[in-house]
Amino acid sequence: MSSVQIRDVRKSFGGFEVLHGVTIPIEDGAFVVLVGPSGCGKSTLLRMLAGLENITSGTISIGDRVVNNVQPKERDIAMVFQNYALYPHMTVADNMGFSLKLRGAKAEEITAGVKRAAEILDLTPLLDRYPRQLSGGQRQRVAMGRAIVRDPQVFLFDEPLSNLDAKLRVAMRTEIKELHQRLKTTTVYVTHDQIEAMTMADKIVVMHDGIVEQIGSPLELYDRPDNQFVASFIGSPA
C-alpha cells in the first residue's frame, strides 16, 4: 500500500492541452473513483499514473517517491483495463503468472503468487483451463488475478466492467469492493458511470474537460455539490 499524490498535473498532446492542472491527494489504502464524461481525461491520468504516458508538467508521487521519470515496470502498480485480453494460448495459471515471469521471478515464487491470487479470487479449480473455457465473469476474475499476483502497492482500474452485462456488472462491483476490503491496496478506479462511483468509492473525484470539479465522499457530493456540473452529473441516470 502507498499514498498517491497527483500535483498540478498537466498533459498536452501535440500542443493541445487535455489536462489543465489536476491535483488529487489519495490516502494510503483508499478506494478513489475518478468519474466524468467521456473525453474528460480519466484514462490519460490513469496512464500517467501507470507510467504509460509522459507528464507534461506537475508531479506524481507514490509513497514518498516522485515517479515522473520511473519506468512502468519499476512502479509497483498493476492495471486492469476495460479490454482485459487474456492470452488465449495460456492456461489461467500461466495468464496469472506471466507478469511475475516477465519480471524474472523464480518458478516457485510464480507458483506461490498464482496460488495466493487464485485463493483470493476463487479461481483454484480453474487454474488449468484456457480462457475460451471460462464465462465472462471468470475471465474478469482472471484479469484481476493477473493484477493482484504481484501484490502491488497500487491498483488502477480503467472501466473494467463496461464490457459486461448489467447483472454481472453489479456482481463484479461487489467482488472488487470485497477484494479491496481484504487487501486494502490503494485503488484508483475510473468509470463514467456515476452509480458505480457512488456505490464503490470512499472518495469520488468528479472530472470535466481536463479539470477536477470536486473531490468528496459520495454523501458529500450528493448533499453538497459545489457547482451545477457536479449536481447534474451526480443526479443524472447512468
Binding site for ligand ADP (CB under 6 A): 13, 18, 36, 38-44
For ligand ADP, the closer of residues 42 and 203 by Cβ is 42
For ligand ADP, the closer of residues 36 and 113 by Cβ is 36
Binding partner at 39 among ligand ADP, Mg ion, none, C-beta below 5 to 8 Å by kind: ligand ADP
Q: Shortest approach of ligand ADP to residue 187 CB, angstroms?
A: 17
Q: Shortest approach of ligand ADP to residue 121 CB, angstroms?
A: 26
For Mg ion, the closer of residues 43 and 140 by Cβ is 43
Q: Give me the residues that bind Mg ion (CB under 5 A), please.
A: 43
Q: Shortest approach of ligand ADP to residue 98 CB, angstroms?
A: 26
CB 72 within 8 A of CB 154: no
Binding partner at 87 among Mg ion, ligand ADP, none, C-beta below 5 to 8 Å by kind: none
Taking 3-state DSSP, the helix, strand and coil percentages for the chain, each rounded to the nearest 5, stand at 40, 25, 35
Distance CA 65, CA 22 (A): 18
Residue 106 main-chain phi, psi, to 5 deg: -75, 155
For ligand ADP, the closer of residues 42 and 146 by Cβ is 42
Distance CA 76, CA 155 (A): 9
Q: Shortest approach of ligand ADP to residue 50 CB, angstroms?
A: 13
Distance CA 149, CA 141 (A): 12
Binding partner at 44 among Mg ion, ligand ADP, none, C-beta below 5 to 8 Å by kind: ligand ADP
Q: In sequence order, what are the residues at sequence separation of 6 or more whose Cβ sits closer than 8 angstroms to the Cβ of residue 222?
A: 198, 234
Q: Shortest approach of Mg ion to residue 43 CB, angstroms?
A: 3
Angle value at C-alpha 91, between 152 and 115, nearest 5 degrees: 45
Binding partner at 236 among ligand ADP, Mg ion, none, C-beta below 5 to 8 Å by kind: none
Q: In sequence order, what are the residues at sequence separation of 6 or more whose Cβ sits closer than 8 angstroms to the Cβ of residue 126?
A: 92, 118, 134, 138, 142
